[in-house]
Structure 1
Amino acid sequence: MSTLRVLKIVLFYLLLAISSSLWCTLSFFVAPFLSFRARYRFVNQNWCRLAVWLAKVLLGIRYEISGQEHIPEQPCVILANHQSTWETMFLSAFFEPLSQVIKRELLFVPFFGWAMAMLRPIAIDRSNPKVALKQMAKQGHDYLSSGSWVLVFPEGTRMPVGQLGKFSRGGAALAVNANLPVLPIAHNAGQCWPKLGWNKFPGTIQVVIGPQMFAEGSGPRAVLELNERVFQWVEDTQRQLNAASGQKPTPEPAEAL
């Protein structure tokens, strides 16, 4: 790795940390007086746009979006594969307002977690799956009813490029119970922003928005069928993206198993 590239990566993280601290601190004094939509734009959307822009300017990480014609006017449940931090920032900037299903521990991260707590996240305790599912169903339904998108990464964790984890049914169940469609999204962000380490690679991330998917019926069987259909679409799209870029599946490092 060249010295210039190392310096750019260090500068990127430095600017990201400084902007996050300043932005979140300012938000404590401004956000409480704003409506939720205005608060979302001020606290989250603008900073995420800055982060994506910094990645483009300093690291050469660009993106292309296809399938925007599939986005419905009414907010619904978004199910996306998870490879890096990039797609979290990008999707938070692209859809607004948006509520995310996150690990509860993230709320305790200084600055970042404190600001996120003001954005109606669905912060679940993964050690208690039954309670987490009930919480996701209740809060998710409330947020969807109030006009917020709900973003779920059904794999539950970031996966290496070329691998797709098992999809949990929580997001599909939320869509079925709310009588709303799922908007599937596939991407290959991990090629530029790997799961592990600080290294970043210049390139163009492909973000593919799929057609809305509705449940056929109701109840557990409909949830299972919808979840499998979304998984299949994401898997097929991932395979096409990997083939187009010549990317081979990345084996999971031994220390991360």
Structure 2
Amino acid sequence: MSTLQALRIFFFYLLLGTSSLLWCTLSFFIAPFLSFPARYRFINVYWCRCALWLTRHILNIQVKITGAEHVPSQPCVILSNHQSTWETFFLSAYFQPLSQVLKKELLYVPFFGWAMAMLRPIAIDRDNPKAALKEVAAKGDRLLKDGVWVLIFPEGTRVPFGQIGKFTRSGSALAVNAELPVLPIAHNAGKYWPKEGWGKRAGVIEVIIGEPMYAEGSGPRAIAALNDRYAKWNEDMQRSMGSLPVTAHVDTESVA
């Protein structure tokens, strides 16, 4: 890594951390008095856009979106692979309002967690997988009925660029039970914003949005089939972006 790039990364994190602290503190005092859509924009959309602006102009990490025309007018379940923090910023700003699964411990972090708690997240206990799955199903269904996008990372955790994790069925189950499609998304963010460490590389992140996928029928078989279709689609898109070698599958344990 060059000295110039190291300085860029240092200033990026300095500005990102400072903006996060200031914005979460401001949100804590203002957001409770706003309606949920306005609150979501104030807390999440504006700050995530700030983070993406810093990413573009300081780190020189751009984005190319393919398939934006496939986004349905009615919110549904978004399934995306998970490689870095970048896609969390991007998807939170691109789809609004949006809720996602997170560890409940994050809600106890002063100011940051308190601000997140006002965004109707699906907070789960990862040490209790059965209870976590029930929470995703119950709260996710309520959110969808209220017109909120629900983001699920089926791999459950960030997986290094060039690999694919095991895709769990919670997102597909949520969509099938709500009689809604899943919106498939694939990206290669980990190539420029790696899972591990502070290093970043300049470049263009590719984001592919596929056509909504509908289940054929209902019940466990339909859920499994829909999940398999997304997993196959995601792998095909990863290969089309040059993200995968000939064999690239790793298992990750998760509940969402």
CA distance in 2, matches of 1:225, 1:105: 33
- More off after superposition, 174-183 vs 100-109: 100-109
**1:149 maps to which residue?**
149
TM-score by length of 2: 0.94
Question: Paired residue for 1:132?
Answer: 132
Q: Cα distance, 1:108 vs. partner?
A: 2.4
Which residue of structure 2 lines up, in the alignment, with residue 255 of structure 1? none
Query: What is the distance in 1 between the residues matched to 2:247 and 2:18?
Result: 36
Q: How does 1:19-168 map to 2 (within 5 A)?
A: 19-168=19-168
Provide closer, same or farther for how the CA distance between residues 221 and 251 of structure 1 changes in structure 2, counting only shifts above 3 A: closer
Q: Aligned AA for 1:236? A: D
Question: What residue identity is the alignment partner of 2:115?
Answer: A
Aligned ranges 1:236-247 → 2 under 5 Å? 236-242=236-242
CA deviation after TM superposition for structure 1 residue 29, in Å: 1.0
Q: 1:248 to 1:129 in 2, by over 3 A?
A: closer
Give, in angstroms, the shift of residue 104 of structure 1.
1.5
2:118 counterpart SS class:
helix
Q: CA deviation at 1:112?
A: 2.2
- Is it true that 1:11 corresponds to 2:11 in the alignment? yes
Cα offset for 1:69? 1.0
The 8 Å contact of residues 166 and 250 in structure 2, kept in 1 or not, is answered as: no
The alpha-carbon deviation at position 237 of structure 1 amounts to: 0.3
Quote the sequence identity (%): 65
| Preserved contact between residue 162 and residue 250 of structure 1 (Cα < 8 Å) | no
Q: CA RMSD in A?
A: 1.9
Deviation of 1:5 after TM superposition, in Å, equals 1.2
Instruction: Point out the structure with the larger helix share.
Output: 1
1:39 offset after TM fit, Å?
0.1
Listed one character per residue, the Cα deviations across residues 6-51 of structure 1 (whole Å, up to 9, x for unaligned) are: 1110100010010000000000111010000000000000000000
Unaligned runs of 5+ in 1: 253-257
TM-score, with length taken from structure 1: 0.94
Query: Distance between the aligned counterparts of 2:249 and 2:13, measured in 1?
Result: 25
AA in 2 matched with 1:11? F
